[in-house]
Amino acid sequence: KAGVTQTPRYLIKTRGQQVTLSCSPISGHRSVSWYQQTPGQGLQFLFEYFSETQRNKGNFPGRFSGRQFSNSRSEMNVSTLELGDSALYLCASSLDSGSGELFFGEGSRLTVL
Amino acid sequence: EDQVTQSPEALRLQEGESSSLNCSYTVSGLRGLFWYRQDPGKGPEFLFTLYSAGEEKEKERLKATLTKKESFLHITAPKPEDSATYLCAVQDSNYQLIWGAGTKLIIKP
């Protein structure tokens, strides 16, 4: 069974640009959550999508957005990038919404210059 | 305020030297406590779920236990491949996950 797939794995952007990250969950998993991980802040919850609806949202500015498609694949977008957005962005899937048993992808490493 | 604190921040052990990692928490209405392992440059990997005080789970050299205020991850006779960062997360009554900062475990051969 294929795991969670995130693309791209690495990307470099400059301040002010925008970025879109993609996540394909495990087959049959309907919930997708996004996290930001930095050395100083650890894992920070961005949002969760289930059946194409945003179920929960963390404390991030509106520059961070996401969506989920009918096949459960998800994308997140960050607009007007800032230096502080440099981080590892992790996608996690689970069978149901609100589960603590998450299956993470390997992440997308974003560097903002 | 819900909070999860992991200690120590880092732990260096010799191969075969058993020890424990701690995850202490304050949360309203614990729904579950979860342990994850994270290798450098990779996403966390789910290890265990604990739901109630007194519960224990085991997997190879790892055993997780839970009390009303904390959880321990016991590592018995560790090997170098057990080196990783171990993360603890608790789920509150609103199904929100609160993550600890992790313990970086280094096992020297």
Q: Which residues of B touch A101 (CB under 8 A)?
A: 34, 46, 49
Torsion A87-A75-A94-A51 (CA) sign: positive
Q: What is the pLDDT of residues A29-87, one digit of tens each?
A: 999 999 999 988 889 999 999 999 999 999 999 999 999 999 999 999 999 999 999 99
What residues in B contact A4, CB-CB < 8 Å?
43
Question: What's the mean pLDDT when you consider all of chain B?
Answer: 96
Partners of residue A100 in chain B, C-beta under 8 Å: 31-32, 34, 49, 89, 91, 97
**Quick one: pLDDT at residue B1?**
83
Percent of chain B with pLDDT over 90: 92
Express each pLDDT in B52-63 by its tens digit.
999 999 999 999
- The pLDDT assigned to B109 comes to 95
pLDDT of residue B97: 93
- Do A101 and B46 count as a contact with CB atoms less than 8 A apart? yes
Query: What letter represents residue A60's amino acid?
Result: F
Q: Is A21 on the interface with B (CB under 8 A)?
A: no
Chain B residue with Cα closest to A37: B43
Q: How far is B88 from chain A (nearest CA, A)?
A: 11
Task: Round to whole Å and give the CA distance between B82 and B76.
Answer: 10
Contact A46, A58 (CB under 8 A): yes
pLDDT at B28 over 90: no
Q: Tell me if A56 and B43 make a contact (CB, 8 A cut-off).
A: no
Residue partners of B51: CB distance under 8 A and separation at least 6? B31, B32, B33, B66
Residues of chain B contacting residue A107, judged by C-beta atoms under 8 Å apart: 41-43
Q: Is A96's Cβ below 8 Å from some Cβ in B?
A: no
- Which residues have CB under 8 Å from B92's CB, separation 6+? B2, B27, B28, B29, B30, B31, B98
Per-position DSSP letters for B67-88, written without gaps between them: -SSEEEEEE-S--GGG-EEEEE
Please give the angle made by the CA atoms of A91, B5 and B59, to the nearest 5 degrees: 65
Residue A1 has pLDDT above 70, yes or no: no
Residue-wise pLDDT tens digits, A10-29: 999 999 999 999 999 999 99
* pLDDT given at position B45: 97
The answer to whether B96 contacts A56, with C-beta atoms less than 8 Å apart, is yes
Per-residue pLDDT for B79 more than 90? yes
Residue A2 pLDDT: 79
Which two tokens mark B38? Answer: 């994270």
